[in-house]
Amino acid sequence: MNRLPALDAKNVAKALERAGFCFVRQKGSHQIYVKDSMGIVLPWHNKELKKGTIRHIIKQSGLTKKEFLELLKK
């Protein structure tokens, strides 16, 4: 499998939006994205997200790692 690249919150947010998630609100430094009844909390910091955080976001979204990487390329 391909390794996850170093990503910041902006790139992850773009991929989530391409997957159909919509930005709902922000509380502090965390943005909430929702699709159907599924919600994802995205830390919005000025630095790269940790690989474990990205993996957890992918898992919460219901996407596979391969699907998520394809959304990043679009």
- Each domain of the chain, given as residue ranges in start order, spans 9-73
Report which of 4, 18, 1 is spatially closest to residue 48, judged by C-alpha positions: 4
Tell me the fold of 9-73: Metal Transport, Frataxin; Chain A (3.30.920)
Model confidence pLDDT, tens digit, residues 1-59: 568 888 999 999 999 999 999 999 999 999 999 999 899 999 998 789 999 999 999 99
Model confidence pLDDT, tens digit, residues 51-66: 999 999 999 999 999 9
- Cα separation of 25 and 59, whole Å? 21
DSSP 3-state assignment of 31? strand
pTM above 0.75, yes or no: yes
